[in-house]
Amino acid sequence: MFVDVVDPVKFSVLTLSNVSGLDRHLSVFAYHEWVLGPPRDGERAHVITESEGDTVFASNPYNGELPGRVAFVRASEPLASASGNRGGFIGRNGTLANPAALEVAALDGRFGAGLDPCAAIQLRVHLQPGEIRQVVVLLGEGIDRAHAHALIARHASIQGAAAALDGVREFWNRTLDAVRVSTPDDSFDALLNRWLVLRFGRDETSFTAGVSYKFAPFNLDVAYVNNMAQSRVGDLFGTSSRSFIATLNVDYRALMPNP
């Protein structure tokens, strides 16, 4: 699972592989519960679900903070059945660990207002011997119905998910490699240049974080920025009189005095 760098969509990618010598017919289910509003008692009762082609839509006309928003679920495979009613998937006195949908041939197809809202979809997949297939389930929200359709057209396919994942990898490589430190210890370099920057980058309230590395005769403090874009690296300089600011590809061995 991952989210797009720009668009408000989440991808769930399932890879199915038939390692047997027989044809396999599978049912794949995806289930999401809608809130689409503040956590107040009875707020979910205002959510309206509907089905259009292979897409399940949901909206809350009483959501004053985000009016007009349209949420959706769409898969890369055609829908076999769907439901906007939570009870139609889980069943009476059922649980998500053992939903009633697994015991019936198709979901009940109920949509509308006044339900316990969800987006439950069923896909039927036929796998030949040795076949490997990916299935993408896209969850997202548009500012309106037209925007939701545009997001579906852009992302609701295997190719769209692959392109979005390439964008995510490029973003993080560019972000984490904006500042690189080189020391005589390869394992320490791996820690500072990727893992530690990512850990510090999750704290949006702190501008810099310091890490000390003792390398005789120096005790170096390396400062990092949460937003590691190249344009922000220059902001570090002058922020601390006690910190050694690491620029791109600093080699600490060059700082050692000649013997």
Domain coverage including residue 191:
181-255
Residue 4 pLDDT: 96
Most trustworthy range by pLDDT among 44-48, 128-132, 191-195: 128-132
Number of domains in the chain: 2
Residue 70 pLDDT: 97
The phi, psi pair for 248, rounded to 5°, reads: -65, 130
Q: How far apart are CA 233 and CA 202, in angstroms?
A: 17
Say whether both 140 and 98 belong to one domain: yes
Residue 176: name the closest of 119, 253, 233, 255 by CA.
233
Say whether both 186 and 168 belong to one domain: no
Say whether both 168 and 202 belong to one domain: no
Q: How far apart are CA 71 and CA 12, in angstroms?
A: 16
Residue 22 pLDDT: 95
Answer whether 60's CB lies under 8 Å from 68's CB: no
Lowest mean pLDDT among 1-5, 22-26, 114-118, 175-179: 175-179
Residue 149 pLDDT: 97
* 215's tokens: 């390398």
Q: How far apart are CA 92 and CA 74, in angstroms?
A: 26
Say whether both 143 and 228 belong to one domain: no
Q: How far apart are CA 148 and CA 28, in angstroms?
A: 24
Say whether both 122 and 186 belong to one domain: no
Say whether both 16 and 106 belong to one domain: yes
Domain boundary among 173, 206, 230: 173
Q: How far apart are CA 51 and CA 63, in angstroms?
A: 20
Say whether both 78 and 133 belong to one domain: yes
User: Pairing between strand 218-225 and 250-251?
Assistant: unpaired
- Asked if residue 188 has pLDDT above 80, the reply is no
Say whether both 200 and 106 belong to one domain: no
- Asked if residue 202 has pLDDT above 70, the reply is no
232 or 7: which carries more pLDDT confidence? 7
pTM of the model: 0.76
Q: How far apart are CA 58 and CA 236, in angstroms?
A: 45
pLDDT confidence of 45, banded at 50, 70, 90?
Answer: confident
Instruction: Count the Cβ atoms, other than its own, within 10 Å of residue 225.
Output: 21
Say whether both 70 and 165 belong to one domain: yes
| Run of H or E including 35 | none
- Asked if residue 42 has pLDDT above 60, the reply is yes
Model confidence pLDDT, tens digit, residues 130-169 = 999 999 999 999 999 999 999 999 999 999 999 999 999 9
Domain boundary among 132, 149, 173: 173
Question: How remote is the C-alpha of 195 from its chain's centroid?
Answer: 19
Domain CATH number, residue 108? 2.70.98.40
Residue 193 pLDDT: 77
Residue 201 pLDDT: 54
Report CA-CA distances (Å) from 27 to 30, 32, 78.
10, 17, 12
Domain boundary among 143, 173, 203: 173
Say whether both 126 and 221 belong to one domain: no
b/e map of 80-115 (b: 16 or more CB within 10 Å)? bbbbbbbebbbbeebeeeebbbeeeeebbebbeeeb
Say whether both 113 and 210 belong to one domain: no
What is the pLDDT of the chain when averaged over all its residues? 80
Say whether both 126 and 195 belong to one domain: no
